[in-house]
């Protein structure tokens, strides 16, 4: 058999020596690299073609100017910012902003409202807003009784982390608007610890009978 690299007769299947084997392998690698380089140069030598622009024109929703950007409603960044402002204002105006983040009443608020209605206390409001101009904050109260100048706040367990903020808020509402604020924690509500205080403000005449008290205020929660 002949060596694949130098052509000398050899007893080995392909090469007569290790040097011929290495030389033949290197030739193949060089040829492969040369081929790849030629393909690369050929690609680079091709004339650059720009992506054809869309022939269809679209109208800007803000200024009405025509543009060819598919799927884009505006023609420029300025018009886009105006569009976002308009969309944001419409969203804010149509969304219910009462105490934003609380989409429904808690169990305590539901049971307390039921208790009020069972005892014919209908002159109350829920989720009433008070604005603090110094801190630029909105305060929302759970239950407000205008005729009694009373506010009832039913605090869940999360209020254990906001004690100082609640004190500051209560002080502002009390000093500015003259309301008395009764805060009832989850434990106090469950153990019926402030029922007498509530009845003192809500019904000074003592017209409510003990049997009329809602089960939630009798410690059954």
Q: What is the CATH number of the domain that holds 116?
A: 3.40.960.10
In a domain, 169, yes or no: yes
In whole angstroms, give the CA distance from residue 109 to residue 26.
84
| 141 φ, ψ (degrees, to nearest 5) | -105, 150
Segments in the chain below pLDDT 70: 4-5, 7, 11, 13, 15, 24, 26-31, 33, 48-54, 87-104, 204-221
**Judgement on whether residues 213 and 124 belong to the same structural domain of the protein:** yes
Same domain, 213 and 142: yes
121 and 208 fall within a common domain:
yes
54 φ/ψ sector (left φ>0, alpha ψ -120 to 50, else beta): beta
59-73 per-residue burial string, b: 16 or more CB within 10 A, e: under 16: ebebeeeebeeeeee
- Examine residue 51 and state whether it is found in any structural domain, yes or no: no
* 56 located within any domain: no
Distance CA 83, CA 159 (A): 40
Q: What is the CA radius of gyration of the chain?
A: 40
The answer to the question of residue 64 being in a domain is: no
Global pTM reads 0.49
Are both 111 and 214 inside the same structural domain? yes
Q: What tokens does 83 get?
A: 């569009």
Say if 95 falls within a structural domain: no
Structural domain boundaries, residue 1:
1-44
CB 52 within 8 A of CB 66: no
Q: Are residues 121 and 193 in the same domain?
A: yes
Looking at the fold, whether 40 and 140 belong to one and the same domain comes out as: no
Task: Count up the domains in the chain and report the number.
Answer: 2
> 189 and 217 in contact (C-beta within 8 Å)?
yes
Judgement on whether residues 113 and 12 belong to the same structural domain of the protein? no
- Do 16 and 117 belong together in one domain? no
Convert the pLDDT of each residue in 59-73 to its tens digit.
888 888 888 887 788
Q: What is the pLDDT of residue 93?
A: 53
> Does 97 fall in a domain?
no
Q: Does residue 143 sit within a domain?
A: yes
Do 20 and 111 lie in one domain? The reply is: no
Q: Express each pLDDT in 73-95 by its tens digit.
A: 888 888 888 888 776 666 555 55
For residue 38, is it within any domain? yes
């Amino acid at each position: 058999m002949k060596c694949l690299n130098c052509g000398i007769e050899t007893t080995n299947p392909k090469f007569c020596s290790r040097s011929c084997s290495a030389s033949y392998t290197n030739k193949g690698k060089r040829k492969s690299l040369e081929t790849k380089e030629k393909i690369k140069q050929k690609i680079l030598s091709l004339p650059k073609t720009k992506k054809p622009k869309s022939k269809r024109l679209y109208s800007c929703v803000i200024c009405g100017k025509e543009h060819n950007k598919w799927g884009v409603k505006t023609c420029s960044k300025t018009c886009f910012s105006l569009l976002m402002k308009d969309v944001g204002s419409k969203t804010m105006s149509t969304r219910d902003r009462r105490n934003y983040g609380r989409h429904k009443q808690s169990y305590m608020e539901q049971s307390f409202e039921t208790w009020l209605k069972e005892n014919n206390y209908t002159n109350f409001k829920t989720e009433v807003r008070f604005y603090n101009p110094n801190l630029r904050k909105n305060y929302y109260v759970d239950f407000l009784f205008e005729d009694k100048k009373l506010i009832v706040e039913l605090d869940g367990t999360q209020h254990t982390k906001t004690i100082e903020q609640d004190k500051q808020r209560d002080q502002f509402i009390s000093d500015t608007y003259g309301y008395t604020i009764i805060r009832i924690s989850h434990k106090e509500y469950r153990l019926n610890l402030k029922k007498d205080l509530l009845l003192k403000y809500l019904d000074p005449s003592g017209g409510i009978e003990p049997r009329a008290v809602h089960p939630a205020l009798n410690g059954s929660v």
